[in-house]
Amino acid sequence: MAFAPKPGCPMCSIVSAGNSSAPGTPNSPTNAAKQNEILWRDDNFTVYRETACPVSSKGHIIVVFNLHVPSIYTLSSSDLPLLVTLRDVSHRLLSSLQTQATPLSSPAAHPQRPLTSASRLRSTRETFRIGFITPPFRDNKIPVTDHLHAHGYVLPADLMGWWRAVGYSPMAWYDIDDLIAEIREETSNNRVRSGVNPRPIDFVPGAGARRGTADGIETTDAPLGVIDTDVEQGEANPTSPMLLPPTPTTVRGPGSTPTTPTADSAIPHLRV
């Protein structure tokens, strides 16, 4: 299996502890969940609250990829819906921590629901910070660098010391909205800027997820996660694949090799 759990990895242990709860629900109160304060678990992510060394007294969460993905540079355009889901889940869990609401009555009870209000999305961007710490920098209190995870916290970061703040500074911090915008800009050949004011493209999770060449050959990589989103329609559709079969097909994972495009994948010549 590509990106299989790594023995001795602290993040893999937390993901394993979260497997005791049903996917897509707030975690059940098992002993392991209480130890890690796991807030959410689904097919792609396990989210826990950082209580030992939080950077904010109002709330600090860690969003761990269930797969042992080594770094942010493993992600591709096909993982855009996954990143949008990560952002939306983090927004709702941080909102729940900020208001001290119970899981059943808070927005965290439905984290798969997208952010559809422009004013709401703008307010969360001004209140929360969600993103990745890129190597060689790291959070010296959570020194895991080979299992991809995102940080989310409520501003202000009143518990962050000056040395730890280096990992959350502009030289090391990769904001989730900046990452999404940069990938979309690369695949769509359009300038897509991130910022406080949301754009219409921010409400289309799969925008920019597919890519291809000028002669019609699709070169989209296979996604890392499980996404129930129809990229073309922007609607939930569990029975349809997230992407059409890419040509050439690429398999993500260590030791994998891409296959060559077949004759059927090319656009037929037209006679005029």
Outline where the chain has alpha helix (H): 10-18, 31-36, 80-99, 118-127, 176-188
Residue 223 CA: distances (Å) to CA of 73, 178, 245: 14, 20, 11
Tokens of 95: 């909102």
- The pLDDT assigned to 151 comes to 97
pTM for the model? 0.73
| pLDDT for res 216 | 80
pLDDT of residue 105: 41
Which segments of the chain have a pLDDT < 50? Answer: 28-33, 101-112, 229-251, 263, 265-266, 272
Tokens found for residue 165: 């703040």
Looking at residue 30, its pLDDT comes to: 44
Using only C-alpha atoms, what is the Rg of the chain? 19
User: Residue 246's pLDDT is what?
Assistant: 40
Q: For residue 3, what pLDDT is reported?
A: 87
pLDDT of residue 110: 46
Q: CB of 233 within 8 A of CB of 212?
A: no
**Res 33: pLDDT:** 46
**What distances in angstroms separate CA 10 from CA 6, 86, 128, 243, one per listed residue?**
9, 20, 25, 32
Q: Does domain 10-265 correspond to CATH entry 3.30.43.10?
A: no
DSSP, collapsed to helix, strand or coil, labels residue 236 as: strand
Q: How far apart are CA 96 and CA 59, in angstroms?
A: 9
Domain ranges of the chain: 10-265
